[in-house]
């Protein structure tokens, strides 16, 4: 499938020469502006991170770091995870009136419900512990810890 995508994405030189080239987008001053992409990762589709492999490594690392006694239910685990996220982001943006803090507060009930529905106790505990490391943010940790501990 990737070969098909590559073949379709790169037309042969003789076909490319006969096709008109699109004009560059212009800003309000009439000057052309560079095209922006959401993902500037130059590795391409075949060289993306192995998220499942990273999650397996994370699982191995976290098995010894998770609390000996895990929370009894998802509600407690998710509350702890979201409290850790609030603490983490308060350290980044300490002003309680900041947009970041306001977003966390505004989405807390929905985040709690979604966590209880979709996140295992060990995954929520994994996120909570890793947030304490202060080296990764909540969305990535939820993804990786959920992959590591899907049960």
Which range, of 37-41, 79-83, 115-119, 147-151, averages the lowest pLDDT? 37-41
pLDDT, residue 41, reads 65
Could you tell me which residue, 120 or 29, shows the higher pLDDT?
A: 120
pLDDT digits (tens, 9 = 90+) for 84-119: 999 999 998 888 788 888 898 999 999 999 999 999
Question: pTM here?
Answer: 0.68
pLDDT, residue 72, reads 97
Give DSSP secondary structure letters for the chain: -HHHHHHHHS--HHHHHHSPPPPPPB-TTS-B-----S---TT-GGG---HHHHHHHHHHHHTTTS-SS--SSHHHHHHHHHHHHHHHHHHHS--TTSHHHHHHHHHHHHHHHHHHHH--HHHHHHHHHHHHHTSS-HHHHHHHHHHH---
pLDDT, residue 35, reads 60
Checking if the pLDDT of 146 tops 70, the result is yes
How many angstroms separate the CA atoms of 124 and 112, rounded?
A: 11
pLDDT, residue 97, reads 80
Instruction: Report the candidate in 68, 70, 91, 71 with the shortest Cα–Cα distance to residue 137.
Output: 91
């Amino acid at each position: 499938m990737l070969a098909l995508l590559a073949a379709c994405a790169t037309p042969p030189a003789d076909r490319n020469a006969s096709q008109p080239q699109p004009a560059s987008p212009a800003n309000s001053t009439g000057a052309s502006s560079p095209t922006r992409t959401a993902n500037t990762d130059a590795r391409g589709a075949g060289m993306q991170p192995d998220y499942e492999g990273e999650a397996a490594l994370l699982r191995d690392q976290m098995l010894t770091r998770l609390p000996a006694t895990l929370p009894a239910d998802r509600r407690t685990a998710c509350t702890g995870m979201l409290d850790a996220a609030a603490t983490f982001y308060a350290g980044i943006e300490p002003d309680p009136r900041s947009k970041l803090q306001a977003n966390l507060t505004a989405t807390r009930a929905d985040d709690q419900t979604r966590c209880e529905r979709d996140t295992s106790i060990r995954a929520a505990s994994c996120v909570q512990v890793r947030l304490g490391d202060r080296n990764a943010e909540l969305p990535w940790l939820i993804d990786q810890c959920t992959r590591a501990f899907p049960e």
